[in-house]
């Protein structure tokens, strides 16, 4: 059964945790979809894990569209959400509508995600929702603000906690259907989760969120560097290395292909 946005709030009420993973191409999208992920996020993290950039900032809307189309072709059940990349939505709500509209129109994804919950961004979310574009919010550590925030945990001080809570509330009031809480203290994530009627999706935010998301490359052990809050469920980097070394060895020794 295809996952619908309307189901997510029902799952929150039922206490049914939501499973979210990132995808960046057809092959991974197909595997993750068939394995039972509820939401596949075409995250701008693909800038780093698939395209080799040092941060998420360089990736363009065109590149995001290209990867989102590939993911869409591999998915039959999961809800697909696509990140709006840096400077494709911050300039104005009109720019955000143009960018988000292209995502839905050209890729077949069902929703977009954008970072930040300050008043101007909440206003942007309001305008997107008013024209029929579903929006997932994102507060706490926002990677597109890496030069301002770094990759440090956010929400440690009383003032920072109050600000992040206020941003989450503002995004819900603006019409966001869910919010990612990234790298914030567990007690703050629990407070936000209890306060909101829409689902929270945690990443490095403790066990009290309504769902959890990981970058799939981190989960599978493909990344060269792992954030401190990641659990690695496989070591595909090592497995692939061994497979390639085995192939190379057999080619050089002329064991492969086998002689008739």
CB-CB contact of 189 with 200 (8 Å) = yes
To which H or E segment does residue 201 belong? strand 200-203
Q: Say if residue 44 carries a ligand binding annotation.
A: yes
- Distances, alpha carbon 136 to alpha carbons 116, 176, 237, in Å: 11, 5, 31
Q: Say if residue 218 carries a ligand binding annotation.
A: no
| 159 catalytic residue (yes or no) | no
Point out the catalytic residue in the list 62, 91, 182, 255. Answer: 182
CB-CB contact of 129 with 180 (8 Å) = no
Q: Say if residue 187 carries a ligand binding annotation.
A: no
CB-CB contact of 160 with 141 (8 Å) = no
* Phi, psi of 218, deg, nearest 5: -70, -45
Count Cα neighbours of 218 within 13 Å in the Cβ-side half-sphere.
17
CB neighbours of residue 249 within 10 Å: 11
List, by residue number, the catalytic residues: 182
Binding-site residue set for Mg(2+): 44, 83, 115
Binding-site residue set for 3-methyl-2-oxobutanoate: 44-45, 83, 113
């Amino acid at each position: 059964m295809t996952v619908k946005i309307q189901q997510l709030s029902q799952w929150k009420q039922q206490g049914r945790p939501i499973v979210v993973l990132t995808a960046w191409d057809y092959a991974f999208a197909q595997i993750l979809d068939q394995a039972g992920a509820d939401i596949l996020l075409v995250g701008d993290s693909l800038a780093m894990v698939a395209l080799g950039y040092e941060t998420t900032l360089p990736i363009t809307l065109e590149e995001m569209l290209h990867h989102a189309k590939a993911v869409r072709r591999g998915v039959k059940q999961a809800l697909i959400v696509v990140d709006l990349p840096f400077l494709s939505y911050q300039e104005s709500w009109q720019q955000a509508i143009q960018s988000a509209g292209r995502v839905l129109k050209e890729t077949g994804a069902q929703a977009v995600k954008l970072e930040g919950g300050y008043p101007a961004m909440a206003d942007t979310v309001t305008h997107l929702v008013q024209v029929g574009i579903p929006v997932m919010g994102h507060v706490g550590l926002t990677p597109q603000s890496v030069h301002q925030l770094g990759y440090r945990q956010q929400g440690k001080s009383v003032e920072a906690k109050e600000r992040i809570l206020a941003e989450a509330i503002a995004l819900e009031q603006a019409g966001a259907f869910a919010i990612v809480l990234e790298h914030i203290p567990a007690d703050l994530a629990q407070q936000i989760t209890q306060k909101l009627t829409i689902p929270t999706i945690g990443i490095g935010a403790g066990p009290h969120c309504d769902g959890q998301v990981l970058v799939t490359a981190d989960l599978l052990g493909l990344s060269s560097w792992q954030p401190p809050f990641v659990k690695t469920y496989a070591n595909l980097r090592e497995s692939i290395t061994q497979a390639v070394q085995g192939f190379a060895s057999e080619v050089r020794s002329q064991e492969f292909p086998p002689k008739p």
